[in-house]
Amino acid sequence: MSNTLYDALFAPHLGSAQPYLVKPDGGVLTYGDFLKMAARYAHAVAAAGVGPGDRIAVQIAKSPEALALYVASVQAGAIFLPLNTAYMPAEVEYFVGNAEPKLVVCDPSGREALAPITENAGAVLETLAADGSGTLSARAEGQPEAFDTVARGPDDLAAFLYTSGTTGRSKGAMLTHDNLLSNAETLREVWRFTADDRLLHALPIFHTHGLFVAVNTVTAAGGSMIWLPGFKLDEVISHMPDATSMMGVPTFYTRLLDDARFTRELVAHMRLFTSGSAPLLAETHVAFEERTGHRILERYGMTETNMNTSNPYDGERRAGTVGFPLPGVELRICNPETGEELSQGDIGVIEVRGANVFKGYWRMPEKTREEFRDDGFFITGDLGKIDEDGYVHIVGRAKDLIISGGYNIYPKEVELLLDEQEGVLETAVIGIPHPDFGEAVVAAVVPQKDVSLCEEDILEAIRDKIARFKQPKRLFVVDELPRNTMGKVQKNLLRDRFGGEFAA
């Protein structure tokens, strides 16, 4: 029986001596050895009671073993749910309660906090550390190095990724085997990946960029990856001479440009740099090209769709745009109210249709219906336009979603937490331009009458209550929030007022 994703991406490499993961210390894990590890983990998750269609939720550090667990989930026919390692237990509790995973895997340091959560949910809790140790690896040790792959078809679910909106709780985007495979095969072709490529991989793997875009695309090509735990400038620079390509977020490139060791000579052998997950400033494009002779390839994707567009591999990579729709992806600009397709150059909501587009939101049929047109186009919520040359421009978002360092943040969650703090009357959270993170989270805070608020005290009070990437980088105490005649807070005026806070 066939398994769409495993059979196409991983099965062709069984027994191969081709390098797959190059560790920071220079050690190499071949495709063959890696897939033996994944098979052992597949046996381990099956022994924990995971069957076809069950969810596996993971909040673990990046490691070869963590990647093997993803492949094991695919091979076992399960649905993989990676969670940001910065999430606090209260945040994880929501995801576990909503997704109802059969198995939860966390870092050993988080076991005590998550144990009551998983017990209440009826899930098995195992651990896996950054060094590969833990109760799950102990389960996997000694297991057979081959696993009878569970049959899964193109329309079966392979993963959940939770996405944030501006209101309400996070939604579980259901991604099928075909969603992931079609996008990997398309990106392999348009970005010209081959077995000779070695990707410098410093992205996290709880996010679509690092896991599905980077890993799946390289694996589809039979290439290898320099598997770094995260972005550490010294490590990235030291490994650059051994790589042919790199995928990053704007933060990576601004930090590289700030280091004198990052030179044209260092990257002379490189084939491709791509950027995504957050807008890349035009000045970063220019500075990068001047320094290195390379022009960063920017593209556009979403949790729900993987990649939708890309600047061309050959031809002009136009700063300030996200290029053209990928092969097999239809994209149009529409009036957000009527759904009517707009003329070239007009700004409207971006809608997409293709094999890459997700199946819908987990247990939210009404929300799913709201986000799809009758003809199958997904309403992205991003505002954009198509210029006279066909390049797609992202000009904003229909909602107030903040993207900081590649991570989605919805303001309401942060506002509710700030409103709970002593002396706070009300707050408005916005994203403003930041040279390193694309956008920075900041908050305008109105104090209660006759109260003097201290920015440092409030930030300290919420430090352990919400993931660090969601925490405001600045708090601005204001007398009142700007409102229109209907009483709605005018966040655009706050952005105008505070938008230059992080300007150079």
Please indicate, yes or no, whether residues 77 and 163 belong to a single structural domain of this protein: yes
E strand map for 346-423: 348-354, 360-361, 378-386, 392-397, 402-404, 407-409
Q: How far apart are CA 272 and CA 297, in angstroms?
A: 8
The answer to the question of residue 335 being in a domain is: yes
User: Which pLDDT value is given to residue 166?
Assistant: 39
The pTM for the full model equals: 0.84
How many structural domains are present in the chain? 4
Residue 222: other Cβ atoms inside 10 A: 19
End-to-end CA distance of the chain: 58
Query: CATH no. for residue 421?
Result: 3.30.300.30
Please indicate, yes or no, whether residues 163 and 267 belong to a single structural domain of this protein: no
Q: How far apart are CA 112 and CA 127, in angstroms?
A: 11
Q: What domain range includes position 359?
A: 330-399
Query: CATH no. for residue 96?
Result: 3.40.50.12780
Residues 6 or more apart whose CB falls under 8 angstroms from that of 156 comprise: 4, 53, 77, 176, 177
Query: CATH no. for residue 224?
Result: 3.40.50.980
438 and 404 Cβ atoms separated by less than 8 Å: yes
User: Which pLDDT value is given to residue 425?
Assistant: 85
Length of the chain: 504
Please indicate, yes or no, whether residues 313 and 237 belong to a single structural domain of this protein: yes
Please indicate, yes or no, whether residues 379 and 406 belong to a single structural domain of this protein: no
Domain final residue pick, 143, 177, 211:
177
The answer to the question of residue 151 being in a domain is: yes
Domain final residue pick, 292, 327, 362:
327
345-365: b (≥16 Cβ within 10 Å) or e: eeebbbbbbbbbbbbbbbebe
User: Which pLDDT value is given to residue 170?
Assistant: 84
Q: Between helices 89-99 and 111-121, what is the axis angle to 10°?
A: 30
The answer to the question of residue 135 being in a domain is: yes
The answer to the question of residue 109 being in a domain is: yes
**By C-alpha distance, which of 280, 274, 351 is closest to 319?**
280
Please indicate, yes or no, whether residues 310 and 345 belong to a single structural domain of this protein: no
User: Which pLDDT value is given to residue 485?
Assistant: 44
Exposed/middle/buried for residue 300 (C-beta within 10 Å: 0-12, 13-18, 19+): buried
Domain final residue pick, 177, 203, 236:
177
User: Which pLDDT value is given to residue 504?
Assistant: 62
Please indicate, yes or no, whether residues 57 and 108 belong to a single structural domain of this protein: yes
> Tens place of pLDDT for every residue, the chain, 504 residues?
699 999 999 999 999 999 999 999 999 999 999 999 999 999 999 999 999 999 999 999 999 999 999 999 999 999 999 999 989 999 899 999 999 999 999 999 999 999 999 999 999 999 999 999 999 999 999 999 999 999 999 999 999 999 854 345 789 999 999 999 999 999 999 999 999 999 999 999 999 999 999 999 999 999 999 999 999 999 999 999 999 999 998 889 989 999 999 999 999 999 999 998 877 877 789 999 999 999 999 999 999 999 999 999 999 999 989 999 999 999 999 998 889 999 999 988 999 999 999 999 999 999 999 999 999 999 999 888 999 999 999 876 666 778 888 887 877 778 889 988 999 988 999 999 998 888 999 999 999 888 999 899 999 999 999 999 999 999 999 999 897 643 467 888 999 999 988 876
Residue 397: other Cβ atoms inside 10 A: 17
User: Which pLDDT value is given to residue 442?
Assistant: 95
